[in-house]
Structure 1
C-alpha cells in the first residue's frame, strides 16, 4: 500500500531523517517538506513523543532496579531461616512470593520489548539501504552513513 506524501514525510521525520534527506528521497523540494512539517507540528510531536518514551523507559528501569533489589533482599532474609531439617511445608513457606516474581518479570519484559523493537528497526533500515543501493547508488552513498548513525542512536 502506497503512503501519501504527507505520511511518508512524517514517517521519515519520525525515523530521524533530516528535511533535506527527505526531500531527496521523496523527490520533493525542501520547501515542501518544511511547510508540511511546520504546518502539522510534526517536529514538536516527535520531540514530545521522544521525551515521553525516554521518561517511561527511565521509570521502567528505575522500577526494575528497585524491584530486583527488594526481591534479592527477600531472598536473603528467607535464606537465613533455611535449614536441612525443614519439612516440605516449611520450605514452601520460604519461597519468594509469586506476586514479587511476576512483577519483576513484567518489568523485565517491558524493557526487553524495546530491544526487540530496535532489532526490527535495524532490519527494516538494512532492507531499505539494500533497496536504495539497487535504485540509486549515489543517493545510497549519501544516506547510508546517516542510517548507521541513526542505528547507533537507537541502540542507546
Structure 2
C-alpha cells in the first residue's frame, strides 16, 4: 500500500474510534437513574355512557362520563383531553374532542344525520402525566 493509502486508512480508523468511544462509555454506565428518567405515568380509568340508546336522525344525545386517576396520588385537576370516537370499517375515527372538568367529568352533545347502528367510545390519549386509556364501547341506534 502507498503512503497515502496508509494515511487515509489510519485517519478513518482514528475517526471511527473517536466517534465510538462516547457510545461505548455511555453503554458501560447502564441506564440513567429513575430521577433522571422522569416520573412514571399514572394509570387512569375512563367511563362513559349515553343518555339514550336509540335516537332519531338529528336528535341530540349526550355522552357523559368520568376520568379518574387510579394511582390515588394526585387528583385530576381538569383539562385532560378526551375524544369521542366511532367505529367505522374496523377503525376508530374521531368525532369530537373536549376536556375534562376539574372534577374529572365530561359531557358531549352529539347528533347524527344518517340512520345507523353505531359503536362509540371515549378515548384519552397519552399525556405527560397519564397513559392512554379508552372507555367501554357504547351502542347507539339512530333511526
Q: TM-score, normalised by structure 1?
A: 0.23
TM-score by length of 2: 0.25
Question: Which is higher, the Rg of structure 1 or of structure 2?
Answer: 2
- State the structure with bigger RCO (CA 8 A, min sep 6), 1 or 2: 2
Which structure is higher in strand share?
Answer: 2
